[in-house]
Structure 1
Amino acid sequence: MDEPPDVDLMLWGKSRGLPARYPLVCHLLDAAAAVEVLWDDYLAPGLRTALAGELVVGEERARRLLAYWAGLHDIGKCMSCFQEQDGDGFSGLVGYPEVDGEAKSHAFAAHVWLGRMLAGSGYTAKRKWSAAIRVAQLLGGHHGAFSSFHHLEFRDPLGALPALGEGRWEEQRRAIATAVHELMDRPEPPPEVSAAGGALACAVVILADWLVSQDAFLRRRIDAGLPRHGDITDLQRHLAGSRAAVVPLLREAGLGRLTFKPGGFSEDFPFQPNDLQRSISERLPVLVGGEPGLLLIMAPMGEGKTEAALHGGRLMGEAAGMPGCFVGLPTMATSDQMLRRVDDFRARRAEGADSLTLLHGMAWLNTAYSPDGGEARVLTDDPMATRWLRGSKRGLLANLAVGTIDQALLAVLRGRHNVLRMLGLVGKVLVIDEVHAYDAYMQGLLKVLLEWLGALKVPVVLLSATLPVAVGRRLAEAYLKGAGCREQKVPEVTYPGWIYVSPQAAQATAVASRERILRVESHRVPIGRDGRLDRSAALQNVLTPVADEGGCAAVICNTVAEAQHTYLALRDWIRQRGGAQVPEIRLLHSRFPAYRREEITQEMVGWFGKDAAGHRPRAAILVATQVIEQSLDLDFDVVVSDLAPIALLLQRAGRCQRHPVNDTRRPGWAVGMRLVVLTPADARGELVVPRAWPFVYPTSLLRRTHDALMRLDEGAVAIPGAIQALVDEVYDEDFGNEVAPLTDDDVSRLADEQTKDLYARMAAIPAPEDVEELSQLSGDDFINEFSTRLGAESGRVVCCTVGADGRFLLDGERLPETGTSGSGNKRWFSKEQVRLVMRHTIPVPGTWLRGLSADNAPPAAWADSAHLSDLTVVTMSGQQPSGQLGQRQVWLSPELGLAEFPATPS
């Protein structure tokens, strides 16, 4: 057999902005070296085992195969239409024939060309999902999306894609492939490549490619000297240099191995465990010795589930060889609050690469995440890591992360780079808090994610105080199905307690919990002519002891507008009433500017939080919306709430007398937990659901909750004993029984949930066992319109004033209308400029953004900013600042937030 020709170093792989063209083969060898170092120094041991298993080979062979494949990922750049993009470089090529044919991306060219080449190298190629085709597909998808593989592409790649070119183009592609195969120690083909293995392999290649494509790395390699010849000896020297250069590159990026210090629960946290935490600490280690599994923790509010999950997750992660952790929560606000707790845990227990990222769209506004008010940072000592892990789609690659559950669900939504998100999850434990808070659509996506994680042997922890048993069972069954274990039965949860399921184990464990009685009072509240509840009489009755004797109360309304009206009415009542104790009163909801909402939230945590101590007011009332019912660790002497579904009512009640340490400081009237439910009623005292509420909660759940509360014996709920039965009674899916007869709104809710579940199946990728070719993981134009949430149409507005020169102002500071740096006609906004604007943005419903006028358009230059382009501007004027948002007149005040009515003077 003739020796292959030397690789032509004039074929370039990177060029733009570099002092010299970077040879294609050098970039390919850089990527191969990066995979080797990622395997050795970053990929979790459990992830390496999972990857090798999906390739049906040993770990060392898997390492060499992945490096070899990475060394082929840009082989499609060896074609005329790519090389022509650098005119000077193209003119230096000698002996290459001219090529006619439609230009195609180099990723697609790799997809087309590699199938036949790999089949000729011994890779199986009898089926659409055989090894040759799957590897060609995964490498063709290294830009984030996979193409479908057609028979003609495999049978005749040059005929299917003439742009590949013949003659020396084909000769050089084969020379490069042969050289890479030789330098990677000629790895034998795998017997097969599963769909999950192909997805993860692609993600590893993407990660390696991104790392070695950084401008600074390329410049350093150019400065170190590029090969002068394309023979194996010269390329071997470049590969050795790349292997050495990638090691510090990973360290700079914050990618490395995470470990935890040895110890038990008392080492993880600076306090002794309660019964729930002790039970998990003592019994879970015995169960996690087999295959990884799913832990579902069900316990009342305020029972330390977060600490139990972090400790249990650490035990599960260490047993599975996946020591990292991602904590997913329902909202940005709950994610922000969780960040501090996970950071405290990290600081005490983590070693090695312990970068912690906060993942949601407004993370950079969190002062705990960027306390200096400058650039957002990853919580780590390495500033280089902060820059790299902060980049788009990279945050889940940090070993520790906190964010909205959306960040995890995107891994199973059909779209670009979902496999990279999956890679970020597979190396760590997934912890999902407040599992009850997700609707049928998000639960549908979560079930698909659990199937994938079960298949890839990823430990999962789910937490809830108020999860219906049927929902918990379905989630656990999805995980077991993915793990290939359909026979395993999911045990019933004995509330409070936890279950652990895996292919090797299925155990339910009951735990003791402090027993309390929650007293529930239902106050009938009339609906006024404007369609709003008239809460005044009921609230004055309940809150008079606060004004007379002191104490702290929360009043929770179902909508922002109702919270604003309620706040104003209570504020006026307090002022008119006077008295020995004049309560402080505050309002908290989502429709404040971002900076103002954070200020109020931190003030309330300082007043009512676990560490409030001497800062707790003698008398105070917080009027709020649902923003305080999850993950805000607040304590009130009494909680007043609008009628809401029972799971959420109980969550709200969990903010009542939450901290035993405060019991000695409570007023005399605050004897035991007390939840006052404001029930909208007509003149006959019958339940009436206000017009706005069905947009927030299903009428069926409101009615069933109301009926369940009416059946309580003397209005008492035994905690923990009665919680699960009460939740299951309201969410019971066996409609039409004697206790809860079938109604039209029940049918409507069931139909809505089935529709949302159908949408989830349409939007999500198939389960691993159902994937034939990787293109099923990528979306088309229709599918890409889906997101992780349905019915979440919303936008953000920024309220400005106009200066004497006609320029927009924010708090007297000029609003940036043009960028400060850039080239050509484009001017880029600095992070300080964008931060100024984003800290003043306010979320509003999508219905508020209909019928916008030209006056609501942002400055034209904002179109070049990803953060600013979608904002809506409201020009405010007047003593009480007001402006026009489409057809709505809106007012803004630091006290009330953004409202559709003026605030009376404070």
Structure 2
Amino acid sequence: MLDVAAVAEVLLREGTPDLPSDRRDLFCLLIALHDLGKIGAQFRAMLRAGLKQNARHWQVTEAWLREEAMEDLLCERLGGTYLALRPLVAAIAGHHGGPPRDTAESQWRMRLDAGQAAAQDARCFVAACFDLWPRASLAGINEAEAMILSWRLSGLTVVADWVGSNPDWFPAAEPPTSAATYLAETRLRAAYAVEKAGLVASVPSATRLFDFALRAMQEAAASIPLRDGPTLAIIEDETGAGKTEAALLLAQRMLLASKGRGLYLALPTMATADAMFRRARDVARRIFVTPPSLTLAHGRAGLSVEFREVMARSGWSEDVICGPWLADSRRRALLADVGVGTIDQALLGILPTRFATLRIHALASKILIVDEVHELGNPYLATELETLLRLHAMGGGSAILLTATLPLEQRARLSRAFEEGAGRAFVEDMDPAYPVLSIPGGAAKRSFPDTVSPKGPVKIARLGSIDEGVALIAQASASGAACVWVRNAVDDAIASVEALRAAGVEADLLHARYAFADRKRIEAAALAAFGPEGGRRRNDGRGKVIVSTQVLEMSLDYDFDVMVSDLAPVAALIQRAGRLWRHMVRRPAAGRPVPAPVLHVVAPDPDRPADTRWLAEVQPRGAWVYELAEQWRTAEVLFRAGEIVAPGGLRALIEAVHGDDRVPVPDTLAAAEEVALGDAYAEAGLARMNIVKIAAGYRDGGGAADDRDYPTRLGQETRALLLTRRAPSGLVPWVEGESRAEAELLSEVSARATQFRDLALPDQSAPEIAAFTEGWPDWKRVNLTVCPVEEGGAICEGLRYDGNLGLLFQPRGRGDEP
């Protein structure tokens, strides 16, 4: 217990140097009591004889500390009330991932089972802790503040317990002569352990981050005045404008101003997180004086070659590092100086999941940078993000939001949540200026010299049919143009590839319905073909062609000459158009095979009478991916405008489709919009039900559910298949890996659960599958369906797999996944 408290001392000294000494000592004293429940006959019998306990030790910890005499002692010595004490006691007791929820009667039974001798010993240890931290005080903490503090204290206890329980750093020792003597000795071990765990914060550096001349938004980030206290900054600019670099410049200034000890860059998807990790690796070293720890936090982080390289050189490199303790889990990854991952890893901190408070604690010391905020605009995600920002500000954290297409009303909601969390009055800002760098309650930069993107306006052209799209791409490719066709559904994308190939066009395909290994291979090939240094022409001089779903539109650095897209909400189309004529310095207009950037949108005429089948004529499967009213409204606004003028014209387009004063839809679509609005209210309501109840404190407002029980995103249920092939030894994963576990991860593929409804998938009790899954935990058997793939790709009737086309349903029904 003193090992863990000593670790907490180091972590508090590192992470909260401004915390008053009496508050710091209070936290350490309470954390020293986290395993008080191990004092007792039942726990001793479990250790010595393997007997089952009636209650877990962490539950007994709260039982001891909620005893009437013990509460009186604590309140008397600490100078506070039991209403302030109890939330903090629950926080340190619930250090195994969830809060204690036992009744007074059950706690009485726990104390009885522990025995009278244990009661005396527990009081003796508490008394000893008063002498070890004599400045500890509850004075001035009321019940409401204690409820808020309980979230942070719980997370700190978890981290300290994980480090302090490591036998390599804290080996068994002879009984000390006194508690004070032992604490003095273990403080030295704690300092070493925290350093070995990678939790000693690197000192921020004022070194120039970038060698290139800064753009206007980046100059603004480097000079805008920062406000006192927790700070939120919102960067709104067109795609490809260098928002990430602007955010890093601003984050460096926040670090130097002691607004955080590190960074967490939150991305919408694993693919975008991987891409950001590559960029962050190159600049993170410059942000700090000493080599910072850098981690990748998502479910497939171990498959990242770049992350593996960082882990391999830890311990000797003068570059970024990541030791094994931090890399061991996604939760710990958030504790690194610089973390890159999905927004989901952060959002799990505000859901009632196990070890959610660890995430809260880890993020509290970080500048939270959320990229592609507009992608979090659906009601469920938006409500979660508001709560995350509120809680982050409550803990003293600062944040930077990046977006190209955020509606003003959503910006206001996010700003309000942060300001309220920081305990400040919110002043609404609905200024429509764009681009803009704004700090709610502080300064804003709204005047920029560049009014038109270097590529000029992107013209809009409507295509009335799929055949027109095929003909256009065939002609453009023949002239040497790099082409992309963005479809809204996987099955439509596959159909377009087949149509292009039938027309003599060699086209590649990118979507989310591949085995993970094949998707990584295809993404790497796409980046090599269409990335900043890509070779966009084939050997015969024709332009390369790729058909993709909307996985292409988020944070991926592609540059195309010609783009065809399905109709989608205007925010999505702006994102897609951001990959059109993107790198004008590397590839100026004079060197491109087409005279100007044009976004060709496959859509019916919005002037035609519109009903619920209006869009299905040109999007057989993808017409239901987005709200029909939003898509009609986009067609109405965009085709009348005739162009996308970035950055100056983006705000008007966004507000006309997504804002409070959006264009009205025809009466024939009014009912569909009403249904969509009802669904939106329901999603927001579900989010409010799911998220933790901050004001109720950790004990009553938190939870210990599995991550899978509380989704960070809503969507149609998916089903995961593990593809296998037959070998002489039996079934083996579809692709090879450095280990069996890695090979299985690389062989997974997912699709909507409803698409498998009428398929006779392989019997999981078949001998070869039973042999393959021997030793699997129950959760893995529930979540993965093992599917042997025959020669030619057949899995079962109606389903096969192709490494270049993905998972194929035959005949294909209405698809709607990206």
Give the one of 139, 163, 174 matched to 1:226: 174
Aligned pairs for 1:304-383 within 5 A: 304-352=242-290, 354-371=292-309
Distance apart, 1:809 and its partner CA: 3.6
C-alpha contact 1:608 1:616 (8 A) present in aligned 2: no
- Comparing 244-253 with 636-645, greater Cα deviation is found at 244-253
Give the one of 41, 58, 73 matched to 1:120: 73
Distance apart, 1:274 and its partner CA: 0.6
Q: 1:89 to 1:740 in 2, by over 3 A?
A: closer
What TM-score do you get using the length of structure 2 for normalisation?
Answer: 0.89
Q: Deviations over 1:82-121 (max 9, x none)?
A: 111122699xxxxxxxxxx982121111112213324323
In the alignment, the residues of structure 2 paired with residue 616 and residue 128 of structure 1 have an alpha-carbon distance, to the nearest angstrom, of: 75
Give the one of 356, 377, 382 matched to 1:443: 382
Show the counterpart of 1:10: none
Distance apart, 1:671 and its partner CA: 1.9
Q: 1:783 to 1:143 in 2, by over 3 A?
A: closer
Show the counterpart of 1:622: 546
Distance apart, 1:416 and its partner CA: 1.8
Show the counterpart of 1:895: 804
Give the one of 469, 472, 480 matched to 1:541: 472
Show the counterpart of 2:523: 601
Show the counterpart of 1:81: 42
In the alignment, the residues of structure 2 paired with residue 381 and residue 82 of structure 1 have an alpha-carbon distance, to the nearest angstrom, of: 46
Aligned pairs for 1:262-273 within 5 A: 262-263=206-207, 267-273=208-214
The answer on 1:70 being equivalent to 2:15 is: no
Distance apart, 1:68 and its partner CA: 1.0
Q: Deviations over 1:159-216 (max 9, x none)?
A: 4644454431111111111122222336233431532212111211111111111232
Aligned-partner residue type, residue 141 of structure 1 = G
C-alpha contact 2:487 2:622 (8 A) present in aligned 1: no
Aligned-partner residue type, residue 523 of structure 1 = L
Give the one of 74, 87, 99 matched to 1:146: 99
C-alpha contact 1:37 1:247 (8 A) present in aligned 2: yes
Aligned pairs for 1:7-46 within 5 A: 28-40=1-13, 42-43=14-15
Q: 1:487 to 1:762 in 2, by over 3 A?
A: same
Aligned-partner residue type, residue 121 of structure 1 = L
Distance apart, 1:691 and its partner CA: 5.6
Q: 1:48 to 1:408 in 2, by over 3 A?
A: farther
In the alignment, the residues of structure 2 paired with residue 901 and residue 550 of structure 1 have an alpha-carbon distance, to the nearest angstrom, of: 34
Q: 1:511 to 1:457 in 2, by over 3 A?
A: farther
In the alignment, the residues of structure 2 paired with residue 377 and residue 810 of structure 1 have an alpha-carbon distance, to the nearest angstrom, of: 33
Aligned pairs for 1:699-738 within 5 A: 699-712=628-641, 715-734=642-661
In the alignment, the residues of structure 2 paired with residue 373 and residue 426 of structure 1 have an alpha-carbon distance, to the nearest angstrom, of: 24
Q: 1:126 to 1:175 in 2, by over 3 A?
A: closer
The answer on 1:467 being equivalent to 2:467 is: no
SS of residue matched to 2:636: helix
Q: Deviations over 1:454-492 (max 9, x none)?
A: 222211111111111111111111111112223433352
SS of residue matched to 1:120: helix
Distance apart, 1:862 and its partner CA: 4.9
In the alignment, the residues of structure 2 paired with residue 854 and residue 604 of structure 1 have an alpha-carbon distance, to the nearest angstrom, of: 33
SS of residue matched to 1:855: coil
The answer on 1:585 being equivalent to 2:525 is: no
Q: Deviations over 1:243-288 (max 9, x none)?
A: 111222112211111223214xxx11121111111122122xx233
SS of residue matched to 2:751: strand
C-alpha contact 1:801 1:877 (8 A) present in aligned 2: yes
Q: 1:881 to 1:854 in 2, by over 3 A?
A: closer
The answer on 1:837 being equivalent to 2:744 is: yes
- Comparing 194-203 with 894-903, greater Cα deviation is found at 894-903
SS of residue matched to 1:393: helix
In the alignment, the residues of structure 2 paired with residue 629 and residue 424 of structure 1 have an alpha-carbon distance, to the nearest angstrom, of: 30
Show the counterpart of 1:4: none
Give the one of 180, 203, 219 matched to 1:278: 219
Q: Deviations over 1:374-427 (max 9, x none)?
A: 999999979882244423521111121111111111111112211110011100
Aligned pairs for 1:423-502 within 5 A: 423-438=361-376, 439-502=378-441
In the alignment, the residues of structure 1 paired with residue 538 and residue 350 of structure 2 have an alpha-carbon distance, to the nearest angstrom, of: 44
Show the counterpart of 2:671: 744
In the alignment, the residues of structure 2 paired with residue 129 and residue 573 of structure 1 have an alpha-carbon distance, to the nearest angstrom, of: 77
- Comparing 622-631 with 482-491, greater Cα deviation is found at 482-491
- Structure 1: any 5+ residue segments left out of the alignment? 1-27, 53-57, 91-100, 526-534, 576-583, 816-830
Show the counterpart of 1:555: 485
- Comparing 756-765 with 60-69, greater Cα deviation is found at 60-69
- The structure whose RCO (Cα within 8 Å, separation 6+) is larger is 2
Distance apart, 1:721 and its partner CA: 1.8
Show the counterpart of 2:532: 610
Q: 1:214 to 1:470 in 2, by over 3 A?
A: same
- Comparing 789-798 with 661-670, greater Cα deviation is found at 661-670
SS of residue matched to 2:798: strand
Show the counterpart of 2:815: none
Q: 1:141 to 1:802 in 2, by over 3 A?
A: same
In the alignment, the residues of structure 2 paired with residue 313 and residue 733 of structure 1 have an alpha-carbon distance, to the nearest angstrom, of: 32
SS of residue matched to 1:759: helix
- Comparing 74-83 with 138-147, greater Cα deviation is found at 138-147
C-alpha contact 2:473 2:483 (8 A) present in aligned 1: no
Show the counterpart of 1:875: 788
The answer on 1:697 being equivalent to 2:626 is: yes
C-alpha contact 1:491 1:508 (8 A) present in aligned 2: no
Aligned pairs for 1:241-252 within 5 A: 241-252=185-196
In the alignment, the residues of structure 1 paired with residue 425 and residue 776 of structure 2 have an alpha-carbon distance, to the nearest angstrom, of: 51
Q: 1:149 to 1:613 in 2, by over 3 A?
A: same
Q: How many residues align?
A: 790
Q: 1:499 to 1:742 in 2, by over 3 A?
A: farther
C-alpha contact 1:124 1:132 (8 A) present in aligned 2: no
The answer on 1:188 being equivalent to 2:117 is: no
C-alpha contact 2:238 2:404 (8 A) present in aligned 1: yes
In the alignment, the residues of structure 2 paired with residue 139 and residue 757 of structure 1 have an alpha-carbon distance, to the nearest angstrom, of: 32
Distance apart, 1:891 and its partner CA: 2.3
In the alignment, the residues of structure 2 paired with residue 695 and residue 368 of structure 1 have an alpha-carbon distance, to the nearest angstrom, of: 37
Show the counterpart of 1:855: 763
> Which of the two has higher C-alpha Rg?
1
In the alignment, the residues of structure 2 paired with residue 614 and residue 158 of structure 1 have an alpha-carbon distance, to the nearest angstrom, of: 70
The answer on 1:663 being equivalent to 2:663 is: no
Distance apart, 1:600 and its partner CA: 1.6
C-alpha contact 2:59 2:93 (8 A) present in aligned 1: yes
SS of residue matched to 2:503: helix
Distance apart, 1:499 and its partner CA: 1.0
- Comparing 673-682 with 369-378, greater Cα deviation is found at 369-378
C-alpha contact 2:518 2:804 (8 A) present in aligned 1: no
Show the counterpart of 2:816: none
Q: Could you tell me the percent identity over the aligned residues? A: 27
In the alignment, the residues of structure 2 paired with residue 323 and residue 543 of structure 1 have an alpha-carbon distance, to the nearest angstrom, of: 53
Show the counterpart of 2:180: 236
Q: Deviations over 1:37-65 (max 9, x none)?
A: 2223x32xxx454xx4xxxxx2x222222
Show the counterpart of 1:96: none
In the alignment, the residues of structure 2 paired with residue 615 and residue 423 of structure 1 have an alpha-carbon distance, to the nearest angstrom, of: 49
- Structure 2: any 5+ residue segments left out of the alignment? 813-818
In the alignment, the residues of structure 1 paired with residue 524 and residue 219 of structure 2 have an alpha-carbon distance, to the nearest angstrom, of: 31
- Comparing 442-451 with 241-250, greater Cα deviation is found at 241-250
In the alignment, the residues of structure 1 paired with residue 200 and residue 705 of structure 2 have an alpha-carbon distance, to the nearest angstrom, of: 37
